[in-house]
């Protein structure tokens, strides 16, 4: 009986063990297996593969952002070019009332070197009636105080000589007087005297167009005056001509607004005794040559006809033996333009301010007041005719 019991126990134990074995078999532990190998033979674990996917996503985002920034930069450059084109078109479409094209100068009267780029004057262009002489009740008194401006004749009292009235060619002189008269009325608190900002405004206006003033949070009123003079007289001149003329005119404007601060000007640009003691038109004060300014004061600006201004803008030459791009630079820290030291040195030397020989063919009497263009010899420095650029 004991043997039978042992047999039953053994059988039961085997059955239980078999059952436990059969139940445990399907619950085997599945360890992670590596993925498919790379072409190089390297095999990534799932965690490594997830890290790689994350890095790939970061790289794609960076590339997409870089591409987006590049497209935006190109769009900005295209917009800037379009603005420059529009500015050039606007300058060519200045209304006849305020353009040098109203000058009654027949094209055949120009020397050959000036025929290029000057518009043909329509014979049917109407002329404006000349203004009458100033009212005797508003007679102008002469200021005798030394180191101070003599009274400047307002543009509203513009009385031109009979020869100018007959020709009717007084538009530019009248316009310039009106603009410069308004500048004298400015308060110095309104005006910018920061050299870097002023140089940036002038260079940017010449290179990019004066429309940039419209987008400025602050715009100095003297910049507007300079832009009006540029658009009226020098718009079709070369870049070096415009930079030298406008920067020098701006210096005089700043000195006038700052009340007789002429010590900051080159000695040749400071007022002459005739300017301090005789009433005259404002335009006379802004020419570089001292002898010519005295002539204008004494002669009541008789020579400043529209014909004169057309020759003047075309024939002026600053002795600049370098490239145009050497006349200015971009300050990396501020992003502002400024004149190069070499350009400042040349512009402050009156001997570098010259007129081409063709100018004196039409105005021979002015050879006493202005320097003629330097003769060019082979291998020597030359005056760059920047009107060709």
Check: CB of residue 352 under 8 Å from CB of residue 319.
yes
Check: CB of residue 354 under 8 Å from CB of residue 371.
yes
Query: Residue 326 has what pLDDT?
Result: 95
Check: CB of residue 284 under 8 Å from CB of residue 296.
yes
Query: Residue 128 has what pLDDT?
Result: 37
Query: d(Cα 318, Cα 240) in Å, to the nearest integer?
Result: 7
The Cβ of residue 373 has, within 10 Å, a number of other Cβ atoms equal to 19
This prediction's pTM: 0.60
Query: Residue 212 has what pLDDT?
Result: 85
Residue 51 CA neighbour count, 13 Å, CB half: 5
Q: Is the dihedral of CA 233, 165, 183, 97 positive or negative?
A: negative
Report the chain (389 residues): mean pLDDT per 10 consecutive residues: 50 51 47 55 79 88 86 76 56 39 36 38 35 35 40 48 49 93 88 93 94 84 95 94 96 86 90 92 95 94 93 93 93 91 94 93 93 55 44
Q: Which two tokens stand for residue 100?
A: 């040098």
Query: Residue 82 has what pLDDT?
Result: 64
What CA–CA distances, in Å, run from 244 to 200, 206, 231, 361?
14, 11, 15, 24
Query: Residue 123 has what pLDDT?
Result: 32
Query: Residue 92 has what pLDDT?
Result: 46
Q: Is the dihedral of CA 112, 114, 117, 119 positive or negative?
A: negative
Query: Residue 359 has what pLDDT?
Result: 94
Query: Residue 188 has what pLDDT?
Result: 85
Query: Residue 260 has what pLDDT?
Result: 65
Query: Residue 12 has what pLDDT?
Result: 54
Residue 84 φ/ψ region, left for φ over 0, alpha for ψ in the -120 to 50 degree band, beta for the rest: alpha
Q: Biggest alpha carbon distance in the chain?
A: 160
Query: Residue 81 has what pLDDT?
Result: 67
Query: Residue 333 has what pLDDT?
Result: 87
Query: Residue 50 has what pLDDT?
Result: 84
Query: Residue 31 has what pLDDT?
Result: 46
């Amino acid at each position: 009986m004991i043997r039978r019991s042992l047999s039953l126990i053994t059988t039961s134990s085997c059955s239980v063990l078999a059952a436990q074995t059969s139940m445990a078999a399907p619950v085997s532990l599945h360890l992670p297996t590596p993925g498919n190998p790379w072409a190089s033979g390297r095999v990534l674990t799932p965690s490594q593969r997830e890290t790689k996917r994350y890095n790939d996503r970061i790289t794609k985002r960076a590339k997409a952002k870089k591409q987006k920034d590049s497209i935006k930069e190109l769009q900005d450059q295209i917009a800037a070019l379009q603005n420059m084109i529009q500015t050039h078109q606007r300058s060519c479409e200045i209304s006849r009332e305020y353009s040098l094209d109203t000058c009654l100068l027949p094209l055949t009267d120009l020397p050959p070197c000036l025929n290029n780029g000057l518009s043909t004057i329509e014979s049917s262009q109407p002329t404006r009636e000349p203004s009458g002489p100033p009212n005797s009740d508003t007679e102008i008194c002469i200021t005798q105080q030394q180191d101070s401006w003599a009274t400047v004749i307002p543009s509203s009292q513009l009385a031109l000589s009979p020869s100018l009235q007959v020709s009717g060619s007084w538009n530019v002189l009248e316009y310039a007087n009106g603009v410069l008269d308004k500048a004298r009325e400015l308060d110095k608190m309104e005006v910018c005297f920061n050299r870097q900002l002023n140089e940036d405004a002038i260079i940017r206006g010449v290179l990019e167009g004066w429309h940039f003033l419209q987008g400025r949070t602050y715009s100095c009123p003297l910049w507007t005056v300079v832009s009006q003079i540029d658009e009226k007289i020098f718009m079709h001149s070369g870049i070096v001509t415009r930079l030298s003329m406008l920067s020098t005119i701006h210096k005089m404007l700043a000195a006038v607004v700052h009340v007789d601060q002429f010590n900051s000007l080159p000695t040749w640009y400071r007022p002459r005794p005739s300017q301090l003691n005789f009433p005259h038109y404002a335009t006379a004060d802004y020419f570089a040559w001292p002898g010519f300014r005295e002539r204008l004061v004494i002669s009541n600006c008789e020579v400043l006809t529209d014909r004169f201004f057309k020759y003047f803008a075309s024939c002026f030459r600053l002795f600049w033996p370098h490239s145009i791009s050497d006349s200015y630079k971009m300050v990396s820290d501020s992003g502002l333009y400024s004149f190069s030291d070499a350009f400042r040195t040349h512009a402050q030397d009156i001997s570098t301010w010259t007129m081409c020989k063709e100018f004196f063919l039409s105005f021979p009497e002015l050879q006493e007041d202005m320097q003629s263009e330097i003769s060019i010899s082979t291998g020597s420095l030359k005056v760059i005719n920047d009107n060709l650029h």
